[in-house]
Amino acid sequence: MDYLIYKSTALVAPDSAACRDIVTVSQRNNAGFGLTGFLHAEPGLFIQYLEGPAKPLWALYERLHLDPRHRDLRLLGRGHLDRRRFVDWRMGYSDEQVLSFADFKAQVSVPGPAADAPRDEAIYFLKVACARIDIGIVEAPLVAPDL
């Protein structure tokens, strides 16, 4: 199983119908392709982690480059996994009300080689946002329920 994580410039607002549509359609489609992941949206920012079988994962990443709801995709990391990081999330979702990426970066130092820092920082960030929702520290943003 492979994973990828990217960052892009969001062109839709986190609370918009377009952003909710991303999550709803992703939840439905990811189930059919064996993909799981997590999307974080803030004004001007998407961070998305995806994992699953290599062929559908990389086909999706290629399609994401054509999506007009964001631009400037930057692959932060990729690799192989023995087990899923987001096993229960066909497509989890958070926004700056759950956790601000800038606040996280200001408060957390990610250990490890400098070359891996953007990838590791983004993965840790998404795991913390996911945990905040899972343990009830914050309410999940209002999007379609995970299917």
Task: Report the chain's mean pLDDT, rounded to a whole number.
Answer: 87
pLDDT of residue 70: 96
Average pLDDT over residues 7-31: 91
Would you say 48 and 10 are in contact if contact means Cβ atoms under 8 Å apart? Answer: no
User: What would the pLDDT profile of 84-134 be if each residue is shown by its tens digit?
Assistant: 887 777 788 889 999 899 888 888 776 666 666 788 888 888 888 888 888
Map residue 60 onto helix, strand or coil: helix
Query: In the structure encoding, which two tokens stand for residue 77, read together?
Result: 């990391």
Which residues pair with residue 51 across a beta bridge?
3, 36
Amino acid present at 67: D
| 10-14, 53-57, 68-72, 99-103: range with lowest mean pLDDT | 99-103
Residue % of the chain over a pLDDT of 90: 49
Task: Kindly list the structural domains of the chain, giving each domain's residue range(s) and its CATH number in brackets, ordered by start.
Answer: 2-134 (3.30.70.100)
Q: The whole model's pTM is what?
A: 0.87
Higher pLDDT pick, 61 / 143:
61
pLDDT of residue 49: 93
pLDDT higher than 80, residue 4: yes
pLDDT higher than 50, residue 145: no
pLDDT of residue 144: 43
Give dist(CA 35, CA 53) in Å, integer. Answer: 7
Give dist(CA 31, CA 90) in Å, integer. Answer: 6
**Residue position matching structure tokens 């607002």:** 13
Give the CA diameter of the chain: 39
Considering 34-38, 66-70, 85-89, 104-108, the range whose residues carry the highest mean pLDDT is: 66-70
DSSP string, 76-137: EEEEE-SS-SSTT-SSEEEETTT--HHHHHHH-PPPS-GGGHHHHHHHHHHHHHHHHHHTTS
